[in-house]
Homo-oligomer: A and B are copies of this chain.
Amino acid sequence: MKDVFETLKKQVNRVGFGAGIHDLLFTAYQASAATLKKHNRVNLDSKVDRKSYTSFETKGKRLSRPINTELFHDDDRAVARLLRQLLKGDRGGICADDITRTLYTVAISFCAARDLTSDRDRKTQGTFFEYLCGAVMEATLGISPVRKLPVLNLDLKGDLPTDLVFDLGNEKPKFHLPVKTSTRERIIQVWAHQRVLDGVYGVGRFLAIPLVLTETKLDTRRREVVEICLPWQWRLYQMHIASLWNVCYFDIPEPYRMLDTVFPRVGVSTVGEFLAEKGRLHKLLQAHSVTAP
Residues of A participating in the B interface, judged by any CB pair closer than 8 Å: 120, 151, 156, 158, 160-161, 185-186, 188-189, 191-193, 195-196, 198-200, 232-233, 235-237, 239-241
Whether A240 and B189, one on each chain, are in contact in the complex, defined by CB atoms closer than 8 angstroms, is: no
Contact of A199 among B158, B188, B192, B239 (CB under 8 A): B239
Contact of A192 among B160, B195, B198, B232 (CB under 8 A): B195
Whether A192 and B158, one on each chain, are in contact in the complex, defined by CB atoms closer than 8 angstroms, is: no
Whether B151 and A237, one on each chain, are in contact in the complex, defined by CB atoms closer than 8 angstroms, is: no
A-B contact pairs, 15 of them (CB 8 A): A120-B120, A156-B236, A158-B232, A186-B186, A186-B189, A188-B192, A189-B189, A191-B192, A192-B195, A195-B240, A195-B241, A196-B240, A199-B236, A199-B240, A241-B241
Q: Which residues of B contact A232 (CB under 8 A)?
A: 158
Q: Which residues of B contact A158 (CB under 8 A)?
A: 232
- Indicate how many identical chains form the complex: 2
Task: With CB as the reference atom, state the residue of chain B lying closest to A193.
Answer: B188
Task: With CB as the reference atom, state the residue of chain B lying closest to A196.
Answer: B240
Q: Which residues of B contact A236 (CB under 8 A)?
A: 151, 156, 160, 196, 199-200
7 cross-chain pairs, A with B, having the tightest CB-CB distances, nearest first: A199-B240, A192-B192, A188-B192, A196-B240, A195-B241, A158-B232, A188-B189
Q: Which residues of B contact A199 (CB under 8 A)?
A: 236, 239-241
**Docked complex Cα distance between A3 and B116 (Å):** 33
- Select the residue from A151, A161, A195, A233 with max chain B CB neighbours within 10 A: A195
**Docked complex Cα distance between A233 and B200 (Å):** 12
**Docked complex Cα distance between A196 and B195 (Å):** 12
Whether A235 and B195, one on each chain, are in contact in the complex, defined by CB atoms closer than 8 angstroms, is: no
What is the distance, in angstroms, from A198's C-beta to the closest C-beta of chain B? 8
Q: Which residues of B contact A233 (CB under 8 A)?
A: 160-161
**Docked complex Cα distance between A160 and B240 (Å):** 13
Task: With CB as the reference atom, state the residue of chain B lying closest to A161.
Answer: B233
Q: Which residues of B contact A186 (CB under 8 A)?
A: 186, 189
What is the distance, in angstroms, from A2's C-beta to the closest C-beta of chain B? 19
Q: Which residues of B contact A239 (CB under 8 A)?
A: 199
Whether A200 and B240, one on each chain, are in contact in the complex, defined by CB atoms closer than 8 angstroms, is: yes
**Docked complex Cα distance between A241 and B192 (Å):** 7
**Docked complex Cα distance between A235 and B196 (Å):** 11
Contact of A195 among B120, B185, B195, B200 (CB under 8 A): B195
Known: A186-B189, A189-B186. A196 touches B237 (CB 8 A): yes
What is the distance, in angstroms, from A157's C-beta to the closest C-beta of chain B? 10
